[in-house]
Chains A and B, each alone.
Chain A
Amino acid sequence: MTQGAGVGAAAVRVQGLWKRFGQQVAVAGIDLELPAGRFIGLVGPNGAGKTTTLSMVTGLLRPDQGRVEVVGHDVWQDPVAVKARIGVLPEGLRLFDRLSGRELLGYSGRLRGLPGAEVDKRAAQLLDVLDLTGAQHKLVVDYSTGMRKKIGLAAALLHNPEVLFLDEPFEGVDPVSAQTIRGVLERYTASGATVVFSSHVMELVESLCDWVAVLAAGRIRAQGTLDEVRGGAPTLQQAFLELVGAHSRDTGSELDWLGGGAR
């Protein structure tokens, strides 16, 4: 794996990113520099601003303030250069789910201007690797969550992007599908591409990522290699809980009625 920590080698550079929704500040001035060629985890509790940040970085949400560069191109000034180089799997947005898995990939690849024959070849291979060949002619609306994530991942990979953004790619995914997704992503980063994914499952991030950014309440609490962020703590989970300031409360006598038979 390349050790691209130099300034010029940043896959994503974010400066002073802000986003408000009415009264609520979702992202409060984020500065980030994500090195290229890494498996990067964006971690944080629910409502930390992970989805908002990823949406702004990928050009799906307009920031109130701030700059975002992906592989050296400004997302809002130079969308032509950026959109061709990124793949995105958003969370909470639908796919064109009235297409079959196969049709969805064909649509997505051709929309990106790839030649039809190439799209069909790549689609067949992706469907095969992601174990979706058997369901390729079923409508995506009838897919399970895991299958949906996998077909979304296939659509995001089809045009061979330099940077892949995945929002909660493992959320609601069964262990078998998760392992498949993992295998594909590991192979993809091994070739020098960058994966940025968000998650709140620390064990997963710890086992997958070599670079981590911790997000809480719309701010970056820590960023760096896994070891740097983990610091002295035994696990990333521990380090994370300390960083976001969550202390395990003693529930001692408050719930003393709980358990031990119905009353």
Chain B
Amino acid sequence: MTHPADLRPTAPANPRPVGLTATVVRLKLSLLRNGLRQSGGRRAAFVVSAVAALLFAALQLLGLIALRGHAHAASLVGLLTAVLALGWAVMPLFFPSGDETLDPTRLVMLPLRPRPLVRALLTASLVGVGPLVTLMLLAGSAVCVAHGTAAGVVAVVAVALALLVCVALARAVAIANIRLLTSRRGRDLAVLSGLVIAVGAQVVNFGAQRLGVSGLAPLDPVYAVVRWLPPASAIGAVDSVSRGAYGVAAAQLALTTVALVLLVAAWARSLTRLMTSPDGSTLQRTESEGRERATSWAPARLLPAGRTGTVMERSLRYIWRDPKTKAAWVTSLAIGLIVPVFNALQGTGSIYFACFAAGMLGIQMYNQFGQDTSAFWMVALTISTPRDAYAELRARALALLLITLPYATLVTVLTTAVLGDWRRLPEVLGLSLALLGAMLATGAWTSARFPYSIPQEGYKNVAPGQSGLALISILGGMVAAALLCAPVLALTIWLNVSAGGDAWTWLLLPVGAGYGTAITALGLRLAAPRTAARLPEILAAVSKG
């Protein structure tokens, strides 16, 4: 009989950390290679995007070197570094599966110690196009502000530090994200970050507009803050050395180093916790055991009976309960409000921007069945005739209208109020309704003709290999919707340019409403037989990924 203690001398020695780092880097390279091997299209896409990114980085590098000595150069590169870091922080939220070595849950079963693992993962994340581009941009930034030998030496350290901070930041965010994503509620919440991006994009947009007006000077006060924020503080240190402020430079470098150490420590801690604690979904399940949901939803009783009411009720519930659907809706609602109203507030807007609300919400009619995911089989099994399909599509359109009609009206009235152009309210409302009708019509038709699946995990909205389909569906549909609106648009223009036409622009409200209704009905009628005839094909398309 063998006593366990006897085995100890023959047990394997501690795994060598050097080997682990090399292995993880090799793993990353293999994953990259295998990902490319999957399809020619993917390879082409990768090569094109890699070349474009490197070209862009090279141009930036040249541009930054050319900027050497410019009065506001330091402000520009400081901000550039900050934006780069922000990009690194946000990236894992949107492409959590983009880098499989980023997902330590896949390594949970292996006997790995956190410290070598952190080192290995950090090294692996330095491999790739993204880090290379970042390195080029950081190097460019450093060259841009480095004057003198001392600054050159500091620049080398600063670039390395800044790059490491970027990568560590991405890793730390990614792992926090994984922790969040393992519980259902966390996952549901996380998807809503689309809103942050929607609003953020608008803010950046307005910021850029202001810069365009007044040049680089407004950057200086921003830089005063940013140069103390790692990793921009590393580039700030180079600038400080060039100016002879060695004490400031030392402080900035120290700050960056501390930030790096803290980030890595935080990351290592979450990594250890993640790899030693049970999956969040298990805990969540027992927690929510006691909570109950109200049996019936009061407004549901107001919905019509039969298929129409049933489908509307489910669609409306899904807007609230399904994270993907909710995120899409919140984003649409936010952008639909922000673009017209912000533009109006800035004085750059036109009242016609109010149509944006109807347009953004109309997008939700696209890929209806993709929003069902593979649960579409439950729908497919109850559609036997084009009539059933018509009822299904109409109910979905009605559910959408229930929210969109009041919302689009509200946004239009709000925009009008800000601009004070009440005379144009009827025509803009009429245009909105016509656009909404066209979107619903084309949305219903493309839902039947070009369905594609929406992966439920992560932030991707299109499964691999279906992005072309999604593009055709949404872009083609939107172009078609714009064309379908042409009659009402033409009427609007005609009434506005012709003498005395102004008195009749109120007519556009009933005309737009009637046109929108008619075209929606037509679109649904055309989409219904297609849906009924293509049920298995739709199911196959929406079940991918």
Contact = CB atoms under 8 A, between A and B. Distances in A.
B372 A96 contact: yes
A90 B472 CA distance: 31
A2 to B, nearest CB: 27
B540 A98 contact: no
Given A97-B375, A111-B378, A113-B306, A60 B539 contact: yes
Contacts of B342: none
Interface string B289-309: 100111100000000011101
Nearest to A108: B378
Given A107-B310, A110-B307, A261-B2, A61 B540 contact: yes
Contacts of B536: 59-62
Given A80-B385, A94-B373, A95-B375, A111 B310 contact: yes
Contacts of B540: 61
Interface in A45-95: 58-62, 79-80, 82-84, 86, 88, 90, 92-95
Nearest to A81: B384
Nearest to B325: A98
B295 A102 contact: yes
B321 interface: yes
Nearest to B387: A80
Contact of B285 (A61, A92, A142): A142
A263 B7 CA distance: 8
B382 A60 contact: no
B44 to A, nearest CB: 21
Interface string B331-375: 000000000000000000000000000000000000000001111
Given A61-B540, A96-B314, A83 B375 contact: no
Given A88-B381, A111-B382, A141 B184 contact: yes
Given A110-B310, A116-B305, A100 B293 contact: yes
B380 interface: yes
B101 interface: no
B92 to A, nearest CB: 24
B321 A93 contact: no
A141 B185 CA distance: 11
Contacts of A116: 305
A137 to B, nearest CB: 4
Given A261-B2, A262-B11, A93 B293 contact: no
Contacts of A144: 285
Contact of A58 (B292, B305, B322, B381): B381
Contacts of B380: 59-60
A144 B285 CA distance: 9
A60 B540 CA distance: 9
Contacts of B306: 110, 113
A138 interface: yes
A102 B288 CA distance: 17
A142 B11 CA distance: 42
Contacts of A142: 184, 284-285, 288
Nearest to B326: A98
Interface string B311-327: 10110011001100000
Contact of B10 (A93, A103, A106, A263): A263
Contacts of B377: 60, 88, 90, 93
A108 B543 CA distance: 19
A96 B378 contact: yes
A113 B307 contact: yes
Contacts of A262: 7, 10-11
A99 interface: yes
Interface in B407-432: none
B383 to A, nearest CB: 8
Contacts of B322: 98
Contact of B375 (A93, A102, A110): A93
B463 interface: no
B238 interface: no
17 contacts: A58-B381, A61-B540, A79-B384, A80-B384, A82-B384, A90-B377, A95-B375, A96-B314, A96-B318, A96-B372, A98-B318, A107-B313, A107-B314, A110-B310, A111-B307, A144-B285, A155-B378
Interface of B: 2, 7, 10-11, 184, 284-285, 288-289, 292-295, 305-307, 309-311, 313-314, 317-318, 321-322, 372-375, 377-385, 535-537, 539-540, 543
Top-8 shortest CB links A-B? A110-B310, A98-B321, A80-B384, A137-B293, A93-B374, A79-B384, A62-B536, A94-B375
Given A79-B384, A83-B384, A138-B289, 20 more contacts: A59-B380, A61-B536, A82-B384, A93-B374, A93-B375, A95-B375, A95-B378, A96-B314, A96-B318, A98-B318, A98-B321, A103-B317, A106-B310, A110-B307, A110-B310, A137-B295, A138-B292, A138-B293, A261-B7, A262-B7
